[in-house]
Amino acid sequence: MTIKEEIERRRTFGIISHPDAGKTTLTEKLLLFGGAIQTAGAVKSNKIKKHATSDFMEIERQRGISVATSVMGFEYKGVKINLLDTPGHEDFAEDTYRTLTAVDSVIMVIDCAKGVEPQTRKLLEVCRMRNTPVIVFINKLDREGKNPFDLLDEIEKELRIDLRPLTWPISIGKTFKGVYNLYEKSLILFNQGEKQTSDNSFEIKDLNDGTIDEIIGEDFANTLRHDVELIEGVYSEFEREDYLEAMISPVFFGSAVNNFGVRELLDGFIKIAPPPRPRETDVRIIKPDDKNFSGFVFKIHANLDPKHRDRIAFLRVCSGKFERNKNYYHVRENRTMKFSNPTAFMAQEKSVVDEAYPGDIIGLYDSGNFKIGDTLTEGEKMNYKGIPQFSPELFRYVVNADPLKTKQLNKGLEQLTDEGVAQLFTKKTDNRKVLGTVGALQFEVIQHRLKSEYAASCNFEHISLFKACWVSSKDKKKLEEFIFEKSHHMASDKEGRPVFLAESAWALQMAQEKNPALQFHFISEFKEN
């Protein structure tokens, strides 16, 4: 198979949702249909009986939530699918934002009873920033929920996107009968209590065909006819090009926990979702079929397997072909590196790969050489853009609870903050360590992982801060004067860049007004002056 054919058959996407919308369950059912796993774990009442395939960290098993992005690859009908399951919890949104830089499209899961929720809005905004095509999967149709038309209106209004249903539910909750596939002109029946692993569909080219009355009953058949007529009259015809340009989002309905509607979603996805797309660097636009290999690190995870204390950098291949044991150029470090055991993922299962193509996500064993956003090439000096860290919103001093384990604590903090779960700042005046996060739960995760993975103990002490922002200026003297004057409010990040720790919105505003020669950055991705 040629490189062009390998690229064309790849689909790399992320699954996003508000917590409890059924995202991890849908992930497992997609893997089930793809033959990647044989049994799925059930996630009920936040207690995981068989641990969900994509939730492999100890704290995830205890809490029943996903807090790290999982990468899973599988084949389905000749298509190589790379699936990234993101954390749903808002405290881990930054990991999700970065993950969305590595995908070409997104499936957004919405609970039919709850509709649009705050986290859904934030995630959709990130997709909009990058013009990422979105498919909507409305889940839990076997439970009582909102009227489908009302739900679509709410999604369009709240998320400011245009929708086009490709499947349509026949009733909802206790009387849920199944879905009609508008794209394929077929009826798929739902049988309560049965796991929908076998094909349970009927071809219905004409809804006026009396067969449908016999299958689902006259009343449901008439309602379906009326609904479809309304859909065809209200919603514009589905055009794949509009979807690829993120101008319209197709909608599928189903019940992930029952495997229902998942096959239709997957079949529809491989037909319409985009293959790997061109990406922007600080030098030029890189196309997937460019001859030379290039890719970027969007995630780092220490101790994926606690027994081996490994550290893995997740790299998205963007162009050319990656080959095992070949020398590649690490742009930031300005040196070549060779990888003898790059891995492909099936959640916590890893296997060594000899080659990888654009769209693939590979794991590179790392002894501390990589940081999030690093670029690998075959020699070209360039950096992929759009992989920032955001200004944190919550802050804590780190207090060492066991002085005998200081070395372990420092190593743990260094590695965990390399992963992007939090940002580490060092105060200028007293060298105290300050952790900054976008969510409170991250402190708990860090504390837990320091204990279980590094045998280090720490406590957190409250520090009242409004914002941490990077400071730069073309006028080096003005910058030095500001750092000296504000020394009690200054820190440095892990790269040694100056960071202003503003105690209040007013303090930040005053600093900006009194220092017009300085730039205050709220995203780490900025050019040094």
Task: Quick: pLDDT tens for 117-133.
Answer: 877 887 787 788 788 99
What is the average pLDDT across 400-424?
Answer: 88
CATH fold of the domain at 3-272 = Rossmann fold (3.40.50)
Q: Can you tell me the mean pLDDT for 332-350?
A: 81
Residues contacting residue 133 through CB under 8 Å, at least 6 positions apart: 104, 105, 106, 243, 244, 245, 246, 249, 273, 274
Confidence of residue 489 (pLDDT cuts 50, 70, 90): very high
pLDDT, the chain, mean: 84
| Phi/psi of residue 5, nearest 5 degrees | -65, -40
pLDDT at 59 over 50: no
Computed on alpha carbons and rounded to an integer, the radius of gyration of the chain in Å comes to 25
Asked whether the beta carbons of 322 and 313 are under 8 A apart, the reply is: no
Q: Which helix (H) or strand (E) holds 511?
A: helix 505-514
**Spatial separation of the C-alpha atoms in residues 25 and 28, rounded to whole Å:** 5
Please give the pLDDT value at position 346: 60
Question: Looking at residues 150-165, what average pLDDT do you find?
Answer: 93
Range list for CATH 2.40.30.10 in the chain: 285-377
Q: How confident is the model at residue 349 (pLDDT cuts 50, 70, 90)?
A: low
Where is pLDDT greater, at 34 or 39?
34
Mean pLDDT of 52-64: 47
For residue 363, which phi and psi values (nearest 5 degrees)?
-105, 130
85/71 Cα distance (integer angstroms): 7
Domain with CATH 3.40.50.300 in the chain: 3-272
Over residues 290-301, mean pLDDT: 91
What is the predicted pLDDT for the residue at 388?
65
pLDDT band at 501 (very low <50, low <70, confident <90, very high): very high
* Full DSSP string of 379-441: S----B---PPBPPSEEEEEEES-GGGHHHHHHHHHHHHHTTSSEEEEETTT--EEEEESSTH
What is residue 393's predicted lDDT score, i.e. its pLDDT?
A: 81
Does 138 score more than 90 pLDDT? yes
pLDDT reading at 507 higher than 70: yes
What's the CA angle centered on 71, arms 69 and 75, to 5 degrees?
Answer: 150
How sure is the predictor about 63, in pLDDT bands with cuts at 50, 70 and 90?
very low
What is d(CA 167, CA 5) in angstroms, rounded to the nearest whole number?
A: 30
Confidence of residue 270 (pLDDT cuts 50, 70, 90): very high
Q: Is the pLDDT of residue 239 over 80?
A: yes
Residue 502 has pLDDT above 50, yes or no: yes
**Is this structure's pTM higher than 0.95?**
no
* CATH class as words, domain 285-377: mainly beta
Q: How confident is the model at residue 74 (pLDDT cuts 50, 70, 90)?
A: confident
Question: pLDDT category, 250, cuts 50, 70, 90?
Answer: very high
Provide CB contacts within 8 A for 516, sequence distance 6+.
Answer: none
- Of 183 and 355, the structure prediction assigns the larger pLDDT to 355
413-419: average pLDDT: 83
What CATH architecture does domain 394-521 belong to? 2-Layer Sandwich (3.30)
Q: Where in the chain is the domain with CATH 3.30.70.3280?
A: 394-521
Residues in contact with 231: Cβ distance below 8 Å, sequence separation at least 6, in sequence order:
165, 168, 182
Residue 201: pLDDT band with limits 50, 70, 90: low
User: In the numeric block, which tokens belong to residue 434?
Assistant: 């300050």
Name the band, by pLDDT with cuts 50, 70 and 90, for residue 279. Answer: very high
Give pLDDT, residue 42. 34
- The larger pLDDT score, comparing residue 53 to residue 425, is at 425
